[in-house]
Structure 1
Amino acid sequence: MIKRLLGRTGLEISIIGFGGIPIQRLDKESAVILIEELYKQGINFIDTARGYTTSEELIGHGLKKIGRDKFILATKSMSRDYESMKRDIQISLNNLKTDYIELYQVHNVRTEEEYSKILSEDGALKALLEAKEKGSIKHIGITSHDLNIIEKGAESGHFSTIQFPYNPVERQAEELFKRAKELGLGVIVMKPLAGGAIINKELSLRFVLENNNISVAIPGMDSVEQIITNSKLGIEYRSLNDEERAIILSEAKELGSEFCRRCGYCAPCPQRIDIPVQFLMEGYYTRYNLKDWAKERYLSMENKAVDCIECGICETRCPYDLPIRRMLKKVAYNLG
């Protein structure tokens, strides 16, 4: 597996890392098998979060069996104040069954107010710096879906890494990534497959890896087959040819900017609608010529787009500020 430096941390990490969101769907035994496969395939970077329900715990079981020293761990917390972050760091250490974590990140910073709180006298950064001094974390990072926030974090001097979406559709951070490399920051790419919206997954990952300003791409994986497939791209890496580039950029153009990345932050819906799945089915219906199959799947759901009461709670949670209520109306129109 090809490795790159995670900025000034000095850590050498595989260019394909493990995104820890989907593992929460698995049981303990399956999760351990997944972590074993990561090691076999040469993936040494694991990214998870306190907010991914059982993800940290399941990864912890795998680490206990395979060996803590085989991996470089990154996790993150939504805590913004000192006490909450201090508590979350300890929970992460316990869940991951370790006494140190290489990278601890402030997770999904959305507003200037949140950013200021993190850096305040009683903010989360104070707890992270204390943990770093004690050796329980080694480096501090920041993640966001807001370009202005992540730019501010990059220039602040407080963080060693940034994590931001990047794929053939979402390229707004390319200049920032150049600047981050100049500053010695590690660049972690989330959503390299646009949250699963991109069909040509191999081409999308290869597109991301062509950017030498990034350190690692972290697609979410929940099967051995996915790990083997994605790892191969980091082992036998090759640039896109002209034909492949045209294919992936054409798909990106078709997706546009108003689409669901299936991050799941909109959940839970009071009407128990699986919102990302609604948009997934509509994508199959409108873009991929699977009209009958998609409509049958949609109509078989107990709770679907047509059941939306337009409370708007989902929109307050969406990191991309998508007009979810309007988008669900479109799903109901096409599939209902």
Structure 2
Amino acid sequence: MNKFGSTDLNINPLGFGGIPIQRISPKQTVEVIAKAKDLGVNFIDSAQGYTDSEEKIGQAIKNHKDYWVLASKAPAKDEKSMEEAIYQSLKNFGRDYIDLYQMHLVSSEDDLKERLNPESGAIKALLKAQKNGYIGHIGITGHRPEILAKAIDIYPFVSVQAPYNFLETQSEDLLVKAANKGVATIIMKPMAGGALASPTASIKYILQKDFVTVAIPGMESVEQVVENVTAANNLEMTNEEKDGMEKDIHELQHNFCRRCEYCQPCPQGIKIHSCFIFHGYHKRYGLKDWALPRYKTLPTPASACTECGLCETKCPYELPIREMLKEVACDFEN
């Protein structure tokens, strides 16, 4: 078990991510979470934005509510919206207490400042809920390590959640900094959103790092739970896993968006990283019905790309962004 930052919580270093729960039945969810419990997993992370994930998890844990260290999150910026989100999460989970509630997807300094406004920001609702015993601790999540690094300097968050795997290492400095400050580190996207062909290699790669508190792969079958727990219990990589990791790196390093946003702004107003995030939920998670409506809320579609190529000159990973945007447009606009 790992100590969860400065708290008195102790958790298995392999946690349970709630995204894929959206695409399986309530009965299957019960079976998957029961197997995770049987194998010692005791940390679940979900979110307000994951459609029915919280509700399914709530049903699956109702007979052993107190066993789980439960975490959720919401992108609410103001007090009222965050208060509503916390209430809804409590209702969905069927619990009167959530161990960790996180500010979800903080994306800029202005965004952080708005949420931390003591008079009207989301932090006011979180602190009120904490004082009233509805949540235990307050954390933060995001895809931009430089913003999260500033956040843990400005406010005493107990945890920080960021993407990290052998393809996405841009958050490593942040995670080391957090661990050195006694802030728990939660690794989201440990399998690069389902892009990796060698998932057990990624689990082992991540859990070998001493700055990692818990990794939260999404799991939607009993077989995946067994595979991931087996990998977490023996971190020595096989030759097959090493070869698979090298193959993933070779095949994906120049065709996988790390959401660093260095490509922005686009002259046409396309939110490039958002296009790729939603596309990834469709292609890798099989959640097109969830991703498409959100894609349609973007101010400018991927098809608006004029192929000026400016984004590609700024991408540190040399991604073929213009071709990738064409694929997004093809899948979401036709």
TM-score (norm. length: structure 1)? 0.78
Query: Aligned runs of 1:279-318 on 2, under 5 Å?
Result: 310-311=303-304
Quote the Cα distance in structure 2 between the aligned partners of 1:82 and 1:32.
33
RMSD: 3.1
Q: Sort the Cα spacing of 1:169 and 1:267 in 2 relative to 1 into closer, same or farther, 3 A.
A: closer
- Which of residues 174, 177, 191 in structure 1 aligns to 2:175? 177
Answer yes or no: is 1:40 the counterpart of 2:38: yes
Displacement of 1:41 in angstroms is 1.4
Residue matched to 1:70: 67
What pairs up with 1:312-327 in 2 under 5 angstroms?
326-327=323-324
Specify whether residues 39 and 243 from structure 1 end up closer, same or farther in structure 2 by C-alpha distance, changes over 3 A only.
closer
Instruction: Verify the 8 A CA contact 2:193 2:280 in the aligned structure 1.
Output: no
Equivalent position to 1:118, from 109, 115, 120: 115
- Which whole-Å deviations, capped at 9, do the CAs of 1:25-82 have from their partners, x for residues lacking one? 1222221122211111111000000000000000000111x31111100000010100
Cα pair distance change 1:309/1:131, threshold 3 Å = closer
2:276, 2:328 within 8 Å by CA — same for their partners in 1?
A: no
On the 8 A contact 1:191/1:261 being kept in 2, the answer is no
Look up the SS of the partner of 2:82 in the other structure: helix
C-alpha distance 267-27 of structure 1, shift in aligned 2 (>3 A): farther
CA 1:278/1:12 → structure 2, altered by over 3 Å: closer, same or farther?
Answer: closer
SS in 2 for 1:239: coil
Q: Unpaired runs of 5+ in structure 1?
A: 281-307, 313-319
For residue 154 of structure 1, what is the aligned residue in structure 2?
152
Query: Residue 27 of structure 2 aligns to which amino acid in structure 1?
Result: E
Q: Which of 202, 207, 210 is the aligned partner of 1:209?
A: 207
Alpha-carbon offset, residue 158 of structure 1: 2.9
Match of 1:219 in 2: 217
Question: For residues 277 and 182 of structure 1, what CA distance do their matches in structure 2 show?
Answer: 33
For residue 228 of structure 2, what is the amino acid of its counterpart?
N
User: How far off its partner does 1:268 sit?
Assistant: 12
Structure 1 residue 251 displacement after superposition: 2.5
The aligned amino acid for 2:132 is: K
**1:227-238 equivalent positions in 2, closer than 5 A:** 227-234=225-232, 236-238=233-235
Contact 1:278–1:328 (8 Å) recurs in 2: no
Taking the aligned partners of 1:92 and 1:49, their CA distance within structure 2 comes to 8
State how far apart, in whole Å, the 2-side matches of 1:217 and 1:204 are.
10
CA gap 1:331/1:8 in 2 versus in 1, 3 angstroms: closer
Distance 1:277 1:160 in 2: 28
Give % identity: 41
**What amino acid sits opposite 1:276 in the alignment?**
G
AA in 2 matched with 1:34: V
Count of matched residue positions in the alignment of Structure 1 and Structure 2 = 291
Q: Aligned residue for 2:76?
A: 79
Q: Which residue of 2 aligns with 1:275?
A: 279
Q: Deviations over 1:224-273 (max 9, x none)?
A: 11111111122x322336885465245324311541589xx95899xxxx
| 2:52 aligned partner | 54
One-letter amino acid of the structure 1 residue matched with residue 93 of structure 2: L
CA deviation map 1:153-174 (0-9, x unaligned)? 2222331000000000111222
Aligned match of 1:102: 99
CA distance in 1, matches of 2:140, 2:121: 14
3-state SS in 1 of match to 2:6 = helix
Query: In 1, Cα distance between the equivalents of 2:113 and 2:164?
Result: 25
Q: Do 2:47 and 2:73's aligned partners in 1 also have CA atoms closer than 8 Å? A: yes
Please list every run of 5 or more consecutive structure 2 residues that lacks an aligned counterpart in the other structure: 260-272, 285-300, 306-314
